[in-house]
Structure 1
Amino acid sequence: MYVFQIHVISFATEHNWDSLDLHDGVDTNAPRLGSYSGTTIPALINSTSNNLYLNFQSDISVSAAGFHLEYTAIGLDSCPEPLTPSYGIKTGDRYLVGDVVSFQCDQGYSLQGHSHITCMPGPVRRWNYPIPMCIAQCGGALTDFSGVVLSPGFPGNYPSSLDCTWTVKLPIGFGVHLHFVNFSTEMIHDYMEVRSGSATTGTVIGRFSGPQLPAPLFSTTHETTLYFCSDYSQNKQGFRVIYQAYQLQSCPDPRPFRNGFVIGYDLSVGRTISFECLPGYTLNGEAALTCLHGVSRNWNHPVPRCEALCGGNITALNGTIYSPGYPDEYPHFQDCFWIVKVPPGNGIYINFTVLQTEPIYDFITVWDGPDQTAPQIGQFSGNTALESVYSTSNQILIKFHSDFTTSGFFVLSYHGDYLPGKGAQDLCSPLQEIKDFCNRSIIHFSISIRDGQ
């Protein structure tokens, strides 16, 4: 006795409306082996009798490529050889009574049917279950650290009127990297939406439609949702998306931050911190950094530095000036100029809190004005501190010079002081001479301010 083995070469019909029915006998009253529509059909179909009845029906609307089937009559000494499902793997090459063959699918496809089949005894050798299929399903729950999401029917066209949701759920502390390998949908009407989080409360991080391949995406929560919707009209190939878990580590902590401080303690993905320098230092770099998405954690810019620069224009009423590179020793061959300007009516008081330079050859010069044509009011060098000088102008020029040999450092502070008669009227009249009092006398003063002063 012989039975039929049907090998499916190609199959494409209008999904749900145009179908092919196979019956294990001479007419439609015989047991039905299967009813197939769209692009989903086993690669191999086996009958259990020597008759096979095929019934194809189509409606009045959409046409498709149809199908191409080849059949072979085989003897019943053993079970018919089961072909490997499309997009799957078959394990086992013996088909005698009691032999077992197992199946599994490629990533992104789900096994429809039984993963193990056994060759059964009897007058007709047959498998105890039909050969399974590997299909791309509409939605699902994914928990592996890597995987594939496919549109239903991929690589064939997806069906109409789909409403599919895939959820990738990983342990807390992991996010998902999405890489789009294929993407083609009907523009506007068929689309994919990606959320970082659940379908109801997650943040939308991407919405895609049309033929353009989306750029990679990073979801920064342990749950990621992919939603796909198609309408009733045009169908396209759809999509193939590879996902990979990555650990949601924080960006490197820039602390300790030399000569300054960091504002903000949250170093996780998407968060921003900022930097400020101590008085006398200048920020070199970006003042704010954001922790980037990605497999490895990095800031969007290099961490800035707070540096004591060689010269500058200073307008604060009070401040500090450091030798270049402080607290490290200053470099050789420096000629640095600082112009300090305070509001009119003020002079400037300078005090050296640290002064350790090479005597004579490395020195600081101060002019009582904005340039070197102004009177020089001081030159400082050596290893002394608490040196000070006053200006009579609201601007001073400070120059630091170093030669090619010994280095050192210095720190000076300054502040603006009110100068009587310099751009503002004195508020108090001169104090009259006090006469005729004895030791231990108590003297009372009365101060009044005229209107408008």
Structure 2
Amino acid sequence: MLGSFSGTTMPALLNSTSNQLYLHFYSDISVSAAGFHLEYKTVGLSSCPEPAVPSNGVKTGERYLVNDVVSFQCEPGYALQGHAHISCMPGTVRRWNYPPPLCIAQCGGVVEEMEGVILSPGFPGNYPSNMDCSWKIALPVGFGAHIQFLNFSTEPNHDFIEIRNGPYETSRMMGRFSGSELPSALLSTSHETTVYFHSDHSQNRPGFKLEYQAYELQECPDPEPFANGIVRGAGYNVGQSVTFECLPGYQLTGHPVLTCQHGTNRNWDHPLPRCEVPCGGNITSSNGTVYSPGYPSPYSSSQDCVWMITVPIGHGVRLNLSLLQTEPSGDFITIWDGPHQTSPQLGVFTRSLAKKTVHSSTNQLLLKFHHDAASGGIFAIAFSEYYICLKQKSGKVDFIPGSTLSWVYGTVTFVQERLIHVC
């Protein structure tokens, strides 16, 4: 419909776009008016001029009559500048509602497609002077970019392109290229790759054209099962980290945090750690277990291991020696009631001469394991802290650990089956 008119306003000039025109007049039963008087004449139906196809672009649409639409899109690597769709306008002089767009090779940007093209500004013409352009290839996590140069020509040494394996200026440089030699293919091992181009104030050349295509990166090896420990982490893909923790009584050997490295073949940035029983050490936890070296496997090589257990002042250390399966000759465990081997000795224990429990009278206890037998065994000595009393207001209290303790405070006498801190 060209229009619907009523009232006293003069309609504007109308142009039909076909060889037929339908005019419908309607009046109702009420007020009558002077009506209308119109003139028409035949005009040729000319088309809009054929729109120019932008360099490095393509046009869709072969009809250029009134209201026909023509669409444009750019070749890979170029960005459309202008309107992607233009329409032939009605009127005595046919024209498009917008000029045809341009296809421009831009200076930098972000590309997120799984494959694409990156061009130096102005390609295939010469790039401008004093350019600093940075493109980021942003792919889904778990994919890298295979980069292939199709054209390359820059001013040697002064104008160059850098490819970095990551999104930052500090990311590892995969290559820096200048001159006219076509660079070889590159494989980025990060889901983000940076392409940086620099030109100085002097010579200008055609620059470069490169293609990239995403390829799937493998995961790092599964660190499970992790003997005598726990692995914490959500995934084993590139850039992700996992943390290793040992069970009580074991000590971590190696790095506690590993990160899946960038690389064509996925691997961790350090060897997998191990949880091993240490041969001696300082223990400050309130309870736990001292294991024989190599536990639960039998110990083998001749060795002397010394552990010092320290609990808060006012507490003592209780040992449970029930699991003591050492060799009957040449293997023994010595325990001192204090931090030094000159402290009072609580005993020397073997498989055949083992007490069930041992108590210290101080907050520190020294334990030494000696092995020189041909074969090995195992032991697991559980320890825990307990409260002890060292002094009362009336003076020093002598007691045997584990015995009943009585004391008088004011007019009240207290009896405690287990020793508690009353000082």
Tell me the TM-score normalized by structure 1: 0.51
Match of 2:297 among 314, 328, 331: 328
Would you say 1:291 and 2:260 are equivalent positions? yes
Q: Distance in 2 between matches of 1:406 and 1:397?
A: 25
CA displacement at 1:263 relative to structure 2: 1.6
Which letter does structure 2 place at the counterpart of 1:430? Answer: V
Query: Any conservation in 1 of the 2:286–2:385 contact (CA below 8 Å)?
Result: yes
State the partner residue of 1:430: 408
Would you say 1:401 and 2:379 are equivalent positions? no
Match of 1:357 among 326, 337, 362: 326
Match of 1:248 among 198, 201, 217: 217
1:147-204 per-position Cα deviation (integer Å, ceiling 9, x unaligned): 99664799996456999998979898532155899795799999778797xxxxxx56
Which letter does structure 1 place at the counterpart of 2:190? Answer: S
Which letter does structure 2 place at the counterpart of 1:343? Answer: P
Query: Any conservation in 2 of the 1:356–1:383 contact (CA below 8 Å)?
Result: no
Please show how residues 58-97 of structure 1 align to structure 2 within 5 Å: none
Q: Show structure 1 runs of 5+ residues with no match.
A: 1-107, 111-136, 197-202, 435-449
Which letter does structure 2 place at the counterpart of 1:406? Answer: S
Task: Pick closer, same or farther for the CA change 1:370–1:165 going to 2, 3 Å.
Answer: closer
Please show how residues 346-425 of structure 1 align to structure 2 within 5 Å: 346-382=315-351, 387-421=356-390
Q: Distance in 1 between matches of 2:257 and 2:369?
A: 32
C-alpha RMSD of the superposition: 5.1
Query: Any conservation in 2 of the 1:345–1:423 contact (CA below 8 Å)?
Result: no
Q: Distance in 1 between matches of 2:149 and 2:282?
A: 53
Q: Distance in 2 between matches of 1:400 and 1:265?
A: 41
Q: Distance in 1 between matches of 2:293 and 2:165?
A: 51
Which letter does structure 1 place at the counterpart of 2:262? Answer: H
CA displacement at 1:258 relative to structure 2: 1.1
1:316-365 per-position Cα deviation (integer Å, ceiling 9, x unaligned): 23222111111111122111111222222222111125211111321111
Query: Any conservation in 1 of the 2:111–2:138 contact (CA below 8 Å)?
Result: yes
Q: Distance in 1 between matches of 2:132 and 2:305?
A: 70
Task: Pick closer, same or farther for the CA change 1:187–1:326 going to 2, 3 Å.
Answer: same
Q: Show structure 2 runs of 5+ residues with no match.
A: 1-75, 79-103, 179-185, 398-405, 414-421
Q: Which shifted more, 292-301 or 376-385?
A: 376-385
CA displacement at 1:288 relative to structure 2: 0.6
State the partner residue of 1:268: 237
Query: Any conservation in 2 of the 1:360–1:382 contact (CA below 8 Å)?
Result: no
Q: Distance in 1 between matches of 2:308 and 2:238?
A: 42
Q: Distance in 2 between matches of 1:279 and 1:155?
A: 67
Q: Distance in 1 between matches of 2:121 and 2:281?
A: 66
CA displacement at 1:237 relative to structure 2: 6.8
Task: Pick closer, same or farther for the CA change 1:429–1:141 going to 2, 3 Å.
Answer: closer
Kindly tell me the number of residue pairs found equivalent between the two proteins: 294
CA displacement at 1:273 relative to structure 2: 1.3
State the partner residue of 2:51: none
